[in-house]
Structure 1
Amino acid sequence: MRVIGLISGTSVDGIDAAWVTLTGTTFDLSVEVVGSATYAYPDELRSQILRVCHGEPISLPDLAALDDAIAHQFAQAAIALQAAHGPVDLIGSHGQTVFHRPPGQGADLGYTVQLGRGEAIAHQTHCTTVSNFRAADMAAGGQGAPLVPPIDACLLSHPKYHRCVQNLGGIGNVAYLPPRPLQQTDHPETLAAYRQQVRGWDTGPGNVLIDLAVYHLSNGQQTYDQDGAWAASGTVQDALVEQWLQQDFFHAPPPKSTGRELFGQAYLEQCLADAAAYHLSPADLLATLTDLTAASIAHSYQTFLPCLPDQVVLCGGGSRNRYLHQRIQAHLPTCEVMTSDDIGMPADAKEAIAFAILAYWRTQGIPGNLPDATGASHAVLLGDLHHAL
């Protein structure tokens, strides 16, 4: 099946789109990446999304207009990718998360909002579209995140190595993949037992605090730290990192998920207040915030994994931050830290590929969540199906 996957993550830095051909089902799944691209939001639309993510009130008519505007941008991304590489049979659109409340925060069930409604994308592209992937898992008592670990298990597990696939979007999340006996992939009981060993959760901030700090320190002239060069020119204040690691989220056991609701502008402002006593330069502050992401990842592995991995596979936009890569390696010296590019999976397009697969699984009647990762009571079909008329 020919499928386009679409997602804009917590960083709100554009729509990642991947055009793939899929065959097989789960552990025999085969993916050919035909093309991928990132399509930037118009500046005003991005600003409006970020204001909503930061908690600015919005009326229902304005929310509806924002939902339609995001859907239009997602549809245009799919149309552009098809113009470059040909028509597809299916679109899987994650949409744009603007609110995420995990279960247990004053309610039995979690609540999540991804704007960019699938029915509008199906209407504009004339292509069947699957959207709203997280809701079904949350209805089953899950976190609605992370959703990628079962895909990582099918595509990126190794017969000998324990692997952690670490996504570095605005928020960081991990999929822990123990070695998988490839010679037994045709035994359903063996594969079911393997899936029960796979784990996944949100580790904390990925790029979000770094990007917010760059914007603040550059007076709005920069939105991210290119290659981590600015942070690399500074010095980490270890005492601050240790102080920040005492935050409750880092010590809560999985399954767990988070977002800008916790690690957003208000959190950055608290970090800036904590740092004031140290009189840090901008470069030192960026180095310290970057190290928080790296240290929180290492802390998460050391605290919640059955063993440290042999390999850490980085993906997402943060995998391009060389300084962050170096800090993760420094905190996990016994692990081989690489990017998913090194094992044949495009790091920038990996999340978009994942939602193409989840859409494909939805049409095949294959449950898309991993209850041991999300905390759901059982495996469920993910996504709402919208047929093009």
Structure 2
Amino acid sequence: MTPVIGLISGTSVDGIDAALVDITGTDFDLKVQFLAGVTYPYPADLKEKILAVCGGAAISMAELAELDDAIALAFAQAAQNIQTDYPSAQLIGSHGQTVYHRPPLARGVDAQAASRRVGRGARGEGRDFTPYSLLGYSLQLGRGAVIADVTGIPTVSNFRSADIAAGGQGAPLVSKVDAYLLSHSHEARSIQNIGGIGNLTYLPARSHPDWEKKIRGWDTGPGNTLLDLAVQHLTNGARTYDQNGSWAATGNPCYELVEQWLSQEFFQQPPPKSTGRELFGWEYLHQCLADAAPYQLSPADLLATLTELTVASIVHSYRTFLPQIPEQVLLCGGGSRNLYLKRRLQVHLEPVPVLTTDEAGLNADFKEAIAFAVLAYWRQLNIPGNLAEVTGARQAVLLGDIHLSGIINSDM
């Protein structure tokens, strides 16, 4: 067994999710034993700075460097803390904190018009290059080299860049982990993560011919982000989220608004696709508030309507882009604990059971952190971590940069 720590802070910026797991096997024989999981909140001032940058605030390069270091040190501290009652980990997989995500074509470039032959390979043969404007870009802060140095544990970080360089979205990256830990022999499943942003992995039954080639995944749209921002707006910052969806549950959704919002371009865009706070952030919420003004919704009605948008965007994705409605939906992430959201999703997907990954043997709260522990483990074994069918990359690639730590023997 290899003890590995997985670290991630998602788009909600709630804090650092740390998971300590023991891993054996490689793919079909992959096994993960969950040992511990803890969410370590960011210090208030650090969280404020991260949210400001995610919201588009301009900062100097010096301030960016300071923020990068502060996040790295917070991640390193989380890695050290979670090992307190356990044997030392041999590896860390750190996703870091996303502060900017630009999917390919986000600037409205016509892919066909822009594709062109611009160079020749090393042997002189023609080679098609992707113009830079067609590539995605994603920035995760919290340098792996710092984490490795502080903890003394080899650390894999910067997972998204290799997939993006290969023409992929850089997201979602957890689909291959989902495939080997959560697929079913005879049932098609959808693993629906509801963090700040929602994303899915569709897993055909393993008995299906070429089942691995049929796996699909993409970002479905807002998860908790708009809900959390709305709660902050409605309470003047006194509250940051609606626990269990209890406030939204007292309201009534405005379905006319939901239909209007679902016409937004992202929801109609076929996969592969990804998104983030750059689209579903404060500016988007302010537009939602403006759209809702004529309806004179109560605060509870507004939260119920935004919840319905998250639910409707998920259901729309399933019905529009999946080869079939899955026979089972497994939720994970913070939104899996939103009982009102889960109930509304069950209503829309009836009779498909809506469960959580807990019920399939994988911790729903720390599933994403566990996934990045596995991705780090695969990287160390030189096993590609992405699924090109999911991200749109040209091929499977090794994910992440390895940072070693320790004193090098001068006699070597």
Q: How high is the TM-score relative to the length of structure 2?
A: 0.91
For residues 272 and 333 of structure 1, what CA distance do their matches in structure 2 show?
30
1:194 deviates by 2.0
* 1:1-389 alignment, distance < 5 Å: 1-106=2-107, 107-181=133-207, 193-389=210-406
Distance 1:84 1:163 in 2: 35
Report how far residue 161 of structure 1 moved: 1.1
Q: Which piece of structure 1 moves more, 129-138 or 343-352?
A: 343-352
Distance (Å, rounded) in 1 between the aligned partners of 2:380 and 2:152: 17
SS in 1 for 2:275: coil
Give CA-to-partner distance per residue, 1:352-384, whole Å, 9 cap, x none. Answer: 000000000000010000001000000000000
Distance in 1 of aligned mates of 2:19 and 2:177 = 15
Distance (Å, rounded) in 1 between the aligned partners of 2:356 and 2:246? 18
SS at the partner of 2:246? helix
Structure 1 residue aligned with 2:122: none
Moved more, 327-336 or 353-362: 327-336
State the Cα deviation string for residues 322-373 of structure 1 (Å, max 9, x = none). Answer: 0000111111113110011111111101000000000000000100000010
State the AA in 1 paired with 2:193: N
Cα distance in structure 2, aligned partners of 1:275 and 1:70: 37
| Pairs aligned (count) | 380
Listed as ranges, the gaps of 5+ residues in structure 1 are 183-189
Task: Give the RMSD, CA atoms, in angstroms.
Answer: 0.9
SS of 2:187's equivalent?
coil
* Mapped partners of 2:276, 2:392: distance in 1: 17
Partner AA of 1:61 in structure 2: A
Q: Distance in 1 between matches of 2:70 and 2:14?
A: 16
CA offsets 1:33-57 (integer angstroms, 9 cap, x no match):
1111100000010010000000000
Q: Distance in 2 between matches of 1:332 and 1:263?
A: 24
Aligned-partner Cα distance in 1 for 2:153–2:287: 45
SS of match in other structure, 1:84: coil
Query: What code does the residue aligned with 2:223 have?
Result: G
Offset at residue 150 of structure 1 (A): 0.8
After the TM superposition, which parts of structure 1 deviate over 3 Å for at least 4 consecutive aligned residues? none
Q: What is the CA distance between 1:181 and its match in structure 2?
A: 2.8
| Secondary structure at the counterpart of residue 236 of structure 2 | coil
| Structure 1: distance between partners of 2:342 and 2:106 | 33
Q: TM-score, normalised by structure 1?
A: 0.97
Separation (CA, whole Å) in 1 of partners of 2:254 and 2:223: 18
